[in-house]
């Protein structure tokens, strides 16, 4: 898949040399200078730490417009998917490009549910972790362990059938890994997956179910399903770019996805949902005064950031945050839950959005600001929040891994500008003082 080359070119002049840079244009009229021959033609490279201005690929999966707060999966607005879709059909849309018809959805659902169970013998690994191990450490490690049970799915150049089997295996087993890790970390018996339950209900049942327990509450299942959809993809975010970069070495999907989990763990990325609740709890313990945290967030020496605020792309609002904030009120009311942290979050948002520091930097609540309120309401422990983000993002990671492998893109290998010592001789130990 290639972006359309436009008739426009950009001129670059340096040291008396002028070159034309082709301009490529996407289906949403985004434009990029194509610099694939820049170093060959000029000996010069570009520099863009954090890649704020640099495209790593062309992709057909997700479109974001940060200025207008637009998020679409394969062209379908997130608002419609969050309202009407299931997480399984959203996963099919992201991975295969289209919403499945009835037969395709039944087949995809069945082929995933048939694969929920872990391979025999894997459970013993979970008890080797210290009880205090962070769930993201366990998840990332166990996805790599899972690969050792499927040598037939590690082909660097998978066939279409192998790719489908890889996708089904990871879609099915990663929630089971997360649920078994949760249960074993608490010394609880494992609850077997149930093919008769949907994707969200099965995960919730594996975590909270067990002998004598009722099936998960439909309100909780619906709230969880919506969280999976809202977190399912977000174009070239840190963890997805990690999946693509690691995948570009032609390693397998297991290690690519495991790397994505590790990247997502960071508090500047998916780990923010846990950090937001910890921040709100601190505000609550301190008497509910958010002003101190606003002041700390503005004080560069504090190294503190208002967690759940700001975004590299969204500069007006994060559409997901709006949907989750609305869902907070609905889900808590349906569950009869009153959470003081929700009121603190709303006050914090109101205070920040009146503050010149946040307004001038276009810092608004992102997907992580309210998500923890819902996860708490449905009973998910705080240190599991980023695992839920990973379960949501899994179809997006798989879609991007598939797109990368199918594109035949060469290995990702950025350049650098060296700033270290220029050439100097080795000095024997006796001459080093």
Closest CB 48 distance from ligand SDX, rounded Å: 12
Q: H helices of 193-233, where?
A: 199-208, 218-230
**Among 364, 278, 363, 374, which residue's Cα sits nearest to residue 326?**
374
What value does the CA radius of gyration of the chain take, rounded to a whole number of Å? 24
Q: Does 312 bind ligand SDX (CB under 6 A)?
A: yes
Nearest residue (CB) to ligand SDX, 269 versus 322: 269
Helix (H, G, I), strand (E, B) or coil at 372: helix
Spatial distance between the Cα atoms of 307 and 292, rounded to a whole number of angstroms: 14
Stretch that binds ligand SDX, among 40-48, 207-215, 268-276, 286-294 (CB under 6 A): 268-276
Element (H, E) at 14: strand 4-14
Listed in sequence order, the residues at least 6 apart from 278 whose beta carbon sits closer than 8 Å to its beta carbon are 307, 382
- The DSSP letter of residue 400 is H
Total residues binding ligand SDX (CB under 6 A): 22
Stretch that binds ligand SDX, among 178-186, 335-343, 359-367, 370-378 (CB under 6 A): 359-367
- The distance from CA 367 to its chain's CA centroid, rounded to whole angstroms, is 11
Q: Does 229 bind ligand SDX (CB under 6 A)?
A: no
292: β partners: none
Helix (H, G, I), strand (E, B) or coil at 214: coil
Q: Which of 272, 341, 342, 374 binds ligand SDX (CB under 6 A)?
A: 272
Of residues 50-69, those binding ligand SDX (CB under 6 A): 50
Spatial distance between the Cα atoms of 126 and 122, rounded to a whole number of angstroms: 8
- For 74, 156, 412, the CA distances from 160, given in Å and listed in that order, are 21, 12, 23
Q: Does 315 bind ligand SDX (CB under 6 A)?
A: no
Spatial distance between the Cα atoms of 57 and 397, rounded to a whole number of angstroms: 15
Mask: binding to ligand SDX, 33-52, rule CB under 6 A, as x and -?
-----------------x--
Stretch that binds ligand SDX, among 85-93, 160-168, 193-201, 300-308 (CB under 6 A): 300-308
Q: How far apart are the two ends of the chain, measured CA to CA in Å?
A: 60
Q: Which of 134, 250, 305, 334 binds ligand SDX (CB under 6 A)?
A: 305
Catalytic residue check, 92: no
Neighbours of 331 (CB within 10 A): 22
Q: Does 268 bind ligand SDX (CB under 6 A)?
A: yes
The single residue of 92, 231, 234, 311 carrying the catalytic annotation is 311
Angle between helices 367-377 and 319-335 (to 10 degrees): 20
Q: Does 361 bind ligand SDX (CB under 6 A)?
A: yes
Spatial distance between the Cα atoms of 383 and 209, rounded to a whole number of angstroms: 19
Catalytic residue check, 231: no
138, 125 Cβ separation under 8 angstroms: no
Q: Which of 81, 179, 306, 405 binds ligand SDX (CB under 6 A)?
A: 306
Nearest residue (CB) to ligand SDX, 49 versus 433: 49
Stretch that binds ligand SDX, among 81-89, 101-109, 308-316, 380-388 (CB under 6 A): 308-316
For residue 47 the two structure tokens come to 């520099």
Q: Does 367 bind ligand SDX (CB under 6 A)?
A: yes
Q: Does 401 bind ligand SDX (CB under 6 A)?
A: no
Q: Does 184 bind ligand SDX (CB under 6 A)?
A: no
Residue nearest to ligand SDX (CB): 310
Closest CB 430 distance from ligand SDX, rounded Å: 48
Q: Does 352 bind ligand SDX (CB under 6 A)?
A: no
Spatial distance between the Cα atoms of 418 and 425, rounded to a whole number of angstroms: 18
Q: Which of 237, 242, 252, 262 binds ligand SDX (CB under 6 A)?
A: 237
Closest CB 169 distance from ligand SDX, rounded Å: 24
Residues noted as catalytic: 311, 368
Binding interface with ligand SDX (CB under 6 A): 50, 234, 237, 268-270, 272, 297, 305-313, 361, 363, 366-368
């Amino acid at each position: 898949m290639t972006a359309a080359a436009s008739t426009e070119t950009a001129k670059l002049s340096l040291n008396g040399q002028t070159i034309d840079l082709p301009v490529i244009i996407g289906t949403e009229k985004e434009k990029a200078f194509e610099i694939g021959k820049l170093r060959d033609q000029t000996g010069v490279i570009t520099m863009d730490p954090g890649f704020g201005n640099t495209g790593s690929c062309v992709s057909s999966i997700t479109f974001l417009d940060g200025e207008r707060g637009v998020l679409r999966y394969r062209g379908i607005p997130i608002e419609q998917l969050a309202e009407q879709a299931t997480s399984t059909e959203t996963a099919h849309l992201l991975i295969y490009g289209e919403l499945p018809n009835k037969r395709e959805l039944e087949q995809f659902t069945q082929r995933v549910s048939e694969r929920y169970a872990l391979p025999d013998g894997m459970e013993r690994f979970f008890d080797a972790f210290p009880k205090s191990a962070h769930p993201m450490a366990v998840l990332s490690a166990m996805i790599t362990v899972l690969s050792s049970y499927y040598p037939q799915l590690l082909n660097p150049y998978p066939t279409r059938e192998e790719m489908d089997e890889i996708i089904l295996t990871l879609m099915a087993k990663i929630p089971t890994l997360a649920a078994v890790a949760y249960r074993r970390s608490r010394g609880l018996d494992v609850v077997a997956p149930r093919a008769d339950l949907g994707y969200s209900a099965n995960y919730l049942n594996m975590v909270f179910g067990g002998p004598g327990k009722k099936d998960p509450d439909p309100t909780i299942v619906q709230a969880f399903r919506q969280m999976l959809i809202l977190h399912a993809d977000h174009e070239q975010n840190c963890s997805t770019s990690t999946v693509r970069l690691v995948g570009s070495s032609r390693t397998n999907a297991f290690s690519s996805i495991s790397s994505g989990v590790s990247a997502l763990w960071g508090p500047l990325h998916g780990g923010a949902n846990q950090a937001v609740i910890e921040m709100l709890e601190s505000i609550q313990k301190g008497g509910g005064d958010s002003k101190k945290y606003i002041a700390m967030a503005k004080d560069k020496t504090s190294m503190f950031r208002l967690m759940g605020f700001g975004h590299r792309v969204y500069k007006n609002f994060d559409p997901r945050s709006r949907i989750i904030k609305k869902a907070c009120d609905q889900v808590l009311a349906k569950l009869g839950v009153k959470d003081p942290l929700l009121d603190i979050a709303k006050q914090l948002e109101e205070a920040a959005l009146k503050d010149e520091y946040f307004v001038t930097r276009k810092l608004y609540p992102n997907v992580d600001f309210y998500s923890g309120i819902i996860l708490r309401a449905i009973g998910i422990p705080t240190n599991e929040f980023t695992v839920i983000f990973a379960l949501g993002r899994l179809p997006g990671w798989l879609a991007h891994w598939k797109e990368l492998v199918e594109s035949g893109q060469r290995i990702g290998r950025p350049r650098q500008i060296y700033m270290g010592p220029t050439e100097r001789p080795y000095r024997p130990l006796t001459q080093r003082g």
